[in-house]
A and B are shown apart, each in its own frame.
Chain A
Amino acid sequence: MKLNERSMAHYATCDSPPDKTGFLFKKGERNTAYHRRWFVLKGNMLFYFEERDSREPIGVIVLEGCTVELCESTEEFAFAIKFDCAKARVYKMAAENQAAMESWVKALSRASFDYMRLVVKELERQLEEIQEAAGGSFVGAGVGNLQGRPKSSKRNHMGRSRSGASSSSSSSSSISSSSSSVPPMSASFSAQKNQQDELQLISGPSKENGVAWSKPPAALANGFVEGASSCAVWESSGDPANVTGYGADGARAPPVPPRRKGASLESPVCPGTGCFSKLHDWYGKEVEELRVQWLQSQ
C-alpha cells in the first residue's frame, strides 16, 4: 500500500511539539534481539529513529485500534503494543526503568485519534451546556467564541464495528472519575477495545463543527501555516459549516433533533449511550491495572 511517506517523515521531524520522546528498546521483527531506538510520539503516530539525531525515521507504528499491555519478557520493564487483526504484529518494547515504562504505556494507550475525538466531543458538549445555561449568545474573550448555535448534525458510527457490551445510560449529572468503582479486569486489559465498543454508542450527538472556521478564499490550512509556527487561527464566522455524516454506502444520516435544555450526561439524541466518565474509566483501567500489578510485584 502506498503512503505519503515523505510527508509523514516530515511530520515526524517538523517543529510541531511531540507528545512524548525517549529511548526504548524494540524487539526486531525477525530476530529476537532488542534494539535501542529513539521514539517520537506525535498524535497517533509512533515514529522510531535509529539515533536521536537521525534525520529520518526508520519506521512508524500507526496507533489506531491497538492495546498496550504489560508483557512477559526476559527484558525488564517490557510492554507490548498489540493490534486486533489476523496475524497482526505484536510490537514488543522495553523501557529503561519503571517510571519510563508507566509513562509510555499511559501515553500510548491514549494516543489514538478516537480517544482525542472522544475528549474533544465531551468538552464541546460541556462548553455548549455552559453557554446555554448562560443564556444563549455568549461573548467570549478573544478569538474563537462560538457564535450562535452551530447546526446539529448526526454523524455515523465512527467506532469499530465489533460486538461489545452496551453501556447503560447514566442520568447522573455528576461526573466521577474514580477508577475504584470500575469492575476488575483480567490481566490482559483491553481498554482500547472496550473504548471502541463503547464508541459506537456515542455516535456523535453533537455538532460536527463546534468551532467556526474562517475560510479564506484560496487556501484552507489544516494546521498548516507557512512560516515559523503552525497555528490554527480561529475567527468567528457567521456561517459554521454544517457537516453531515455519510456512511460508507453514501447514505446520508438523518438530522438530529435539537438538544433539550439542561441535558444530563445522557445524550438527549442518543438515549442509552454511555456517559463520558464511564468511557473514560475504560481508559483508566489499564493504568490502574498496571499500578496494581506493579504494587503486587514489589
Chain B
Amino acid sequence: MRFNEKELVLLSRQPSERAAELGMRGPKKGDVVKKRLVKLVVNFLFYFRTDEEEPIGALLLEQCRVEREDSQTFSIAFLDEAERKYVFECDTEEQCAEWIDSIIKASYEFMRKNLIFYRTEIHRLTGKDPLEQYGISDEARFQVSNGRPLPTVPFLWHFDSDPFM
C-alpha cells in the first residue's frame, strides 16, 4: 500500500505526546527485544534507532488493543491480528502505566467518542448544541447518528445540510 512517507517522516519529527527509550520486540516469532526511541505523535507510534533521525517504522494506533503484560511491560496488538503483539519494556511500573494510558488516548476514534460524549452531555445540560456556534454541527465526523454506537443517546440530531454552513 502506498503512503506519503516523506510527510510521515516529517510528522515523526514533531513535538510528541510522549517519547522514551524502551525495549521493543516485534510481533514475529524469534523477534528479540531491542532498544528503541519510541515516540508518540498524534495517532502514530514511531520507533527509531537511538540517535537516528529517521524512524525505522511507525504503527498507526487505530483499532488496536493495549495490554499490560507484566508490571513494566505492555503490548500493542491490532484488531485484525490479535495474536501478533508488539511488546514494549519500560523502566518502571509508573512509566508503563503512563504509556498505556497515552496510547489508548492516542486514537482518533477514541477522541471522536469523547467528542460525541461531550457534545451530547452539554446538549443535555444546556439544551444547546455546542458545535452549532462554530458552524460544524453537521459535519459527519461529529455525528451522533452515523452508525456509531454510543453510551447514551438522548437525541439524534438532524440538520439541513448546506454543505458550507
Contacts and interface: CB of A to CB of B under 8 A. Distances in A.
A230 B63 contact: yes
Interface string A1-25: 1111111111100101101100000
5 contacts: A3-B3, A116-B115, A126-B118, A219-B67, A230-B149
A244 B101 CA distance: 10
B29 interface: no
- For the side of the interface on A, what is the size category? 35 or more
Interface of A: 1-11, 14, 16-17, 19-20, 42-45, 56-62, 64-66, 83, 85-89, 99, 102-103, 106-107, 110-114, 116-117, 119-120, 123-124, 126-127, 130, 134, 140-145, 155-161, 175-177, 208-211, 213, 218-224, 229-234, 241, 243-248, 250, 277, 280, 284, 287, 290-291
- For the side of the interface on B, what is the size category? 35 or more
A5 to B, nearest CB: 5
B69 to A, nearest CB: 10
Contacts of B8: 1, 3, 62
Contacts of B15: 156-161, 247-248
B6 interface: yes
A210 B16 CA distance: 20
A127 B118 contact: yes
Contact of A222 (B4, B107, B126, B131): B107
A119 B115 contact: yes
A64 B1 contact: no
B65 A219 contact: yes
Contacts of A61: 3-4
B93 interface: no
Given A19-B141, A124-B114, A144-B117, A223 B6 contact: no
B65 A83 contact: no
A57 B5 contact: no
Nearest to A145: B121
B113 A232 contact: yes
Nearest to B118: A123
B33 interface: no
6 nearest CB pairs, A to B: A2-B57, A59-B2, A43-B108, A142-B152, A123-B118, A7-B78
A243 B101 contact: yes
B111 A66 contact: no
Contacts of A106: 139, 163-164
